């Protein structure tokens, strides 16, 4: 039978201590309300004594949140605990979370206290907190570098005076999963009372093992995991809530764990936090990264299109996404390209698909991501076809704000290369004039427009060129990530239309 794990979210306390992640009171309340929708068990709203702003935010969150326990952190000092209670007393389910360091290095250099003094102080402060509140969490800071026998003794003493949750944190991200499992198992064996309360773990990610350590601790008997949205927090951050929850959700067969988090709120929670703090997650971040449910490789795309589970171990819908992403790029195959064409409403012949796919591949070598507008531009260009009397072979532009622009353009006319060079008022004007020399017919540039087809730095530019010949307007369109190339292609397109109409009249 699966074991329930309580999720203690400390995004608003430990997470906010991450550089660049500070939030004002209104933003903290928004995050707290989202965490309530996410259905976490505990929201650590802040460190009430840290500042007047922290106190106010903890107090207001306590007033606004109704379905979760609201906790405030407090050092093992009477004033800290008094202020914490003043802040959380409005909560429907209040908790005071007090802590003191227990490792030899912290006791000697930071606290300058002997173990007996630490033990006595911890007991006194839990008693002090218990006078205010039924739900008391006690944390042994830097527990994983502490003596397990000392911890067992300390935990038994604070449980006797009222602690309801015991946190055994890996404060500096020092432990490993197997070591943590043994460490918690050892303390449980040496303690008489630890199994009578909730055992919590709070893991930092300094060695990249926070999530793995948290899950190992749960297997060893922990019943609460402390974590943050997007894994934000001090130094390398905390265990990421979304990774812990989805690991339990996806691998129930191995872990035998579950929680009450509404996983469909995960993506919304992640994006809200990123928008408030301005700190984006890396694209390949597990669960919530932009690439977590994106596929570009042709092999992967083919597999997912045939059967999703070939490359997806969880559904995008399970975390609140509407669907996965088939990213069209240079690694994409024809199956994904055809699938996107169908989604866009195009029903093309095999020959048309082959031609369009070739153009897609050429474009994919120039830009990282192909958008739907790129594909539609390719199809539009192909469906309005005129005989290409002239084709662009290559061009060279020499331009700057202190020199006269020069363009050398080479066009293909059947199997013949024709080159001309011209100067102009800018690179586009110079290129157009070079083409005029090659074509040798009377025409006037009536209009020229350039706009972006898609988004990003490598967006395609579409040039629309209108030429006047014998009183009639001919329009050409050119498409390229290079705006000069797009302009040249648009000009040649209009020229080919002129030549097509001239030949058509001759035949008539």
3-state secondary structure of 381: helix
pLDDT band at 86 (very low <50, low <70, confident <90, very high): very high
Domains of the chain by residue range? 3-277, 294-383, 390-507
pLDDT, tens only, 327-337:
566 667 777 77
CATH topology agreement for domains 3-277 and 390-507: no
pLDDT band at 458 (very low <50, low <70, confident <90, very high): low
For residue 232, what pLDDT is reported? 96
- Segment among 55-64, 157-166, 477-486 with least mean pLDDT: 477-486
Supply the CATH classification number for the domain 390-507.
Answer: 3.30.160.270
pLDDT band at 310 (very low <50, low <70, confident <90, very high): confident
Question: What is the pLDDT of the chain when averaged over all its residues?
Answer: 89
pLDDT, tens only, 186-244:
999 999 999 999 999 999 999 999 999 999 999 999 999 999 999 999 999 999 999 99
Alpha-carbon dihedral sign for residues 269, 270, 275, 277: positive
Q: How far is CA 256 from CA 8, 166, 197, 212, 250, in A?
A: 19, 22, 20, 15, 10
C-alpha–C-alpha distance, residues 128 and 74, integer Å: 12
Which one, of 453, 455, 451, 454, lies nearest residue 465 by Cα? 451
CATH class in words for 3-277: alpha beta
3-state secondary structure of 218: helix
pLDDT, tens only, 99-141:
999 999 999 999 999 999 999 999 999 999 999 999 999 999 9
pLDDT, tens only, 258-296:
999 999 999 999 989 988 887 888 888 999 987 776 655
Q: End-to-end alpha-carbon separation of the chain, Å?
A: 85
C-alpha–C-alpha distance, residues 120 and 114, integer Å: 10
Q: Which tokens belong to 200?
A: 């919590």
Interstrand relation of 165-167 and 198-202 (parallel, antiparallel or unpaired):
parallel
CA angle at residue 92 from 88 to 97, to 5 degrees? 40
Would the pTM count as exceeding 0.85?
A: no
Pure H helices in 280-426? 298-306, 334-343, 350-364, 372-383
């Amino acid at each position: 039978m699966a074991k329930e794990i309580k999720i203690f979210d400390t995004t608003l306390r430990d997470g906010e201590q991450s550089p660049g992640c500070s939030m004002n009171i209104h933003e903290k309340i928004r995050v707290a309300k989202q965490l309530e929708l996410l259905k976490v068990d505990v929201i650590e709203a802040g460190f009430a004594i840290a500042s007047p702003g922290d106190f106010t935010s903890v107090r207001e969150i306590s007033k606004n949140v109704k379905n979760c326990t609201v906790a405030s952190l407090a050092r093992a000092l009477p004033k800290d605990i008094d202020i914490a209670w003043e802040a959380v007393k409005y909560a429907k389910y209040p908790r005071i979370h007090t802590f003191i360091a227990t490792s030899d290095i912290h006791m000697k250099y930071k606290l300058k206290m002997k173990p007996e003094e630490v033990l006595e102080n911890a007991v006194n402060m839990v008693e002090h907190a218990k006078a205010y509140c039924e739900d008391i969490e006690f944390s042994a800071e830097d527990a994983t570098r502490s003596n397990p026998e000392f911890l067992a003794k300390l935990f038994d003493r604070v449980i006797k005076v009222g602690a309801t949750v015991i946190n055994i944190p890996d404060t500096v991200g020092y432990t490993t999963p197997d070591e943590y499992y043994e460490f918690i198992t050892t303390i449980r064996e040496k303690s008489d009372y630890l199994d009578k309360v909730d055992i919590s773990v709070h893991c930092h990610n300094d060695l990249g093992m926070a999530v793995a350590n948290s899950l190992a601790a749960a297997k060893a008997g922990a019943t609460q995991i402390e974590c943050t949205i997007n894994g934000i927090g001090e130094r390398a951050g905390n265990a990421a809530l979304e990774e812990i929850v989805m690991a339990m959700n996806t691998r129930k067969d191995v872990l035998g764990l579950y929680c009450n988090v509404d996983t469909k709120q995960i993506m919304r929670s992640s994006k809200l936090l990123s928008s408030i703090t301005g700190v984006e997650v890396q694209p390949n971040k597990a669960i919530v990264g932009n690439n977590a449910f994106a596929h570009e490789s042709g092999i992967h795309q083919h597999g997912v299109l045939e059967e999703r589970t070939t490359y997806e171990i969880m559904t995008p819908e399970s975390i609140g996404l509407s669907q996965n992403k088939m990213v069209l790029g240079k690694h994409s195959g024809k199956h994904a390209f055809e699938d996107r064409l169908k989604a866009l409403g195009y029903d093309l012949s095999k020959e048309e698909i082959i031609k369009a796919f070739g153009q897609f591949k050429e474009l994919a070598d120039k830009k990282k991501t192909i958008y739907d507008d790129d594909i539609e531009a390719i199809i539009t260009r192909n469906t309005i076809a005129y005989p290409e009397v002239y084709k662009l072979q290559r061009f060279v532009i020499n331009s700057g704000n202190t020199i006269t622009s020069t363009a050398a353009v080479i066009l293909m006319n059947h199997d013949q290369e024709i080159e001309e060079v011209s100067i102009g008022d800018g690179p586009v004007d110079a290129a157009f004039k070079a083409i005029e020399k090659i074509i040798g017919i009377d025409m006037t540039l009536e209009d020229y427009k350039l706009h972006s087809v898609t988004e990003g730095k490598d967006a395609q530019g579409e040039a629309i060129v209108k030429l006047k010949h014998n009183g009639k307007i001919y329009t050409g369109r050119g498409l390229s990530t290079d705006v000069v190339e797009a302009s040249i292609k648009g000009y040649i397109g209009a020229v080919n239309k002129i030549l097509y109409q001239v030949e058509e009249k001759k035949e008539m």
